[in-house]
Structure 1
Amino acid sequence: MQVTNTILMIRPVSFRMNEQTAVNNYFQEDIDVQNTTINEKAQQEFDAFVEVLRSKGVNVVVVEDTKEPDTPDSIFPNNWISFHANGTIGLYPMFAENRRNERREDILDILEEQGFKIENVVDYTSAEAEGVFLEATGSMALDRVNNKAYCALSERADEELFIEFCEDFEYSPVIFTANQSVDGKRMPIYHTNVMMCLAEDFSVICLDTIDDKKERKNVVDHLKQDGKEIIAITEQQMHHFAGNMLQVLGADDKRYLVMSSAAYESLDQNQIDAIEKHCDIIHSSLKTIETCGGGSARCMMAEVFLPRSK
Structure 2
Amino acid sequence: MQTTQSVFMVRPSGFAANQETRHSNFFQKDAVNHEDHAVGALAAFNGYVDALTQAGIEVTVIEDTGGQETPDALFPNNWIALLADGSLYTFPMEANNRRRERREDIIAQLANDFKVERQIDLSAYELTGRFLEGTGSLILDHVHKLAYACLSSRSSPDVGREFEHHSGYRIIWFDAADRLERPIYHTNVMLSVGAQYAVVCLASIRDQAQKSVLIATLKRSGKTVIDVSFAQMEAFACNVLELRAKDGHPVYAMSTRAWASFTPQQQALIGGYARLALGPIDIIEDLGGGGARCMLAEIFLPKKLSLA
TM range (shorter): over 0.9
Task: Confirm or deny: 8 A CA contact 2:130 2:158 kept in the other structure.
Answer: no
Measured against aligned partners, the alpha-carbon deviations of 1:35-93 in whole angstroms (never above 9, x if no partner) come to 7x100000000000000111122110000101131100000000000001111111000
Query: 1:34 Cα deviation (Å)?
Result: 7.6
Equivalent in 99, 114, 117 of residue 116 of structure 1: 114
C-alpha displacement of 1:309: 2.0
Structure-2 residue corresponding to 1:50 = 49
1:283, distance to aligned residue in structure 2 (A): 1.3
Q: Structure 2 counterpart of 1:31, which letter?
A: A
Match of 1:82 in 2: 81
Please name the residue that 1:29 is paired with: 29
The residue identity in structure 2 corresponding to 1:6 is: S
In the other structure, the counterpart of 1:20 is: 20
Answer with 294-303 or 159-168: which moved more: 159-168
Matched position secondary structure for 1:187: coil
Asked if 1:145 corresponds to 2:143, the answer is: yes
Partner of 1:11: 11
Whether 2:201 is the aligned partner of 1:206: answer yes
Q: Partner residue of 1:178?
A: 176
Give the TM-score normalised by the residue count of structure 2: 0.96
Q: Which residue of 1 aligns with 2:39?
A: 40
For the residues of structure 1 that align with 2:224 and 2:272, how far apart are their CA atoms? 10
- Aligned residue number for residue 210 of structure 2: 215
> Cα offset for 1:32?
4.7
Q: Trace 1:188-207 onto structure 2 (pairs within 5 A).
A: 188-207=183-202
Which deviates the most, 71-80 or 277-286? 277-286
Q: Distance in 2 between matches of 1:112 and 1:169?
A: 19
In structure 2, what residue type is equivalent to 1:20?
A: E
Q: Does 1:272 align with 2:271?
A: no
2:126 to 104, 125, 128: 128
**1:246 is the counterpart of 2:241:** yes
Same amino acid, percent of matched pairs? 38
Give distance in 2, aligned partners of 1:72 and 1:122.
25
Give a deviation string over 1:218-263, Cα, whole Å, max 9, x none: 0000001011100110011000000000011113111111110110
Contact 1:231 1:274 (C-alpha < 8 Å) held by counterparts: no
Q: Distance in 2 between matches of 1:110 and 1:123?
A: 17
What SS does structure 2 have at the residue aligned with 1:179?
coil
Matched residue count: 305
- The alignment partner of 1:51 has SS state of helix
Scaled by the length of structure 1, the TM-score of the pair is 0.96
Structure 2: runs of 5 or more not aligned: none
The separation in 1 between residues aligned to 2:257 and 2:147, in whole angstroms, is 27
1:305 maps to which residue? 300
Distance (Å, rounded) in 2 between the aligned partners of 1:90 and 1:116: 14
Alpha carbons 1:201, 1:278 under 8 Å: kept: no
Equivalent residue letter for 1:309: K
Compute the displacement of 1:301 (Å): 0.1
Q: Distance in 1 between matches of 2:170 and 2:22?
A: 31
Residue identity matched to 1:17: A
Give 2:288's aligned residue: 293
Deviation string, structure 1 residues 82-121 (Cα, Å, up to 9, x no partner): 00111111100001000000000111222233x3111211
1:2 corresponds to: 2
Q: 2-side partners of 1:112 and 1:147: how far apart?
A: 24
Distance 2:33 2:263 in 1: 32
Which stretches in structure 1 are left out of the alignment for 5+ residues? none
Distance 2:161 2:267 in 1: 34
Q: Distance in 1 between matches of 2:219 and 2:101?
A: 37
Question: Does structure 2 retain, via aligned residues, the 8 Å contact 1:141–1:151?
Answer: yes
Shift of 1:33: 6.4
